[in-house]
Amino acid sequence: MRKERHHKGWNEIKTNDSWAIFKIMGEFVNGFEKMSSIGPCVSIFGSARTKPDSKYYKLAQNIANKIVEAGYGVITGGGPGIMEAGNKGAHMAGGTSVGLNIELPFEQHDNPYIDSDKSLDFDYFFVRKVMFVKYSQGFVVMPGGFGTMDELFEAITLIQTNKIGKFPIILIGSEFWGGLMKWVKTTLLEEYGNISPKDLDLISIVDTEDEVIDVLDSFYKKYNLSPNF
């Protein structure tokens, strides 16, 4: 009897997994339809826990403002902290402000600076990440936690393996990123040879909003703006 209950439960799990395909498909379709018309955008990543009085919150807002002035829109994860700062800077500058929200048990709630027709909700991280990569012409990565690192290294991996087109990856805050990038260069590259020197060519560490625009302008003097899939 116990064995029968076990098999019944396993079959229910398999059935639920099959039906989940339609929910996943729906998230992709909705995302593609809404994101396909937003125009050139730059994604801003960073911690949801960053407070409005933090220097990095203020810097993210200023960066978003400059990005809009340079002719781009801004995409964030739609939540508080750095994400809110990015959307706020874009909104205050009169630019496109996109929020890709994710259902989480804590931290995440959409911020009030997202354009009403450009706020998307996701249950699946992997669907949301496709939207970031597909519709971004650059990643601006502020100090953050595991989620920020996940977005950063996935983008680097996809570019490294030629799964997507190249775009600039701009790390903000040499004091925050310096130690990590030193380890990448000395350990991953020089000591173990696990990456190639060219894998780091698209990564810049800067400290000001003007430097962000300089990196974007320099890159797009060589490449046309287009989605990456």
DSSP 121-176: EES-HHHHHHHHHHT-S-EEE-S--HHHHHHHHHHHHHHHTTSS----EEEE-HHH
Q: 80-136, pLDDT tens digit by residue?
A: 999 999 999 999 999 999 999 998 876 567 899 999 999 999 999 999 999 999 999
The pLDDT-based confidence of 24 (bands split at 50, 70, 90) is: very high
Residue with tokens 């995302």: 31
Stretch 190-194: mean pLDDT, rounded? 98
Strand stretches in the chain, DSSP E? 41-45, 73-76, 97-102, 119-122, 139-141, 169-172, 203-206
pLDDT of 229 reads 43
DSSP state of 224: -
Residue with tokens 């380890």: 183
Q: 32-65, pLDDT tens digit by residue?
A: 999 999 999 999 999 999 999 999 999 999 999 9
DSSP state of 187: I
Stretch 68-90: mean pLDDT, rounded? 97
pLDDT of 16 reads 80
What the chain holds in terms of domains, given with CATH numbers, is: 2-220 (3.40.50.450)
Q: Does the pLDDT of residue 158 top 80, yes or no?
A: yes
Q: 136-157, pLDDT tens digit by residue?
A: 999 999 999 999 999 999 999 9
164 contact partners, CB below 8 Å, separation of at least 6: 133, 155, 158, 228, 229
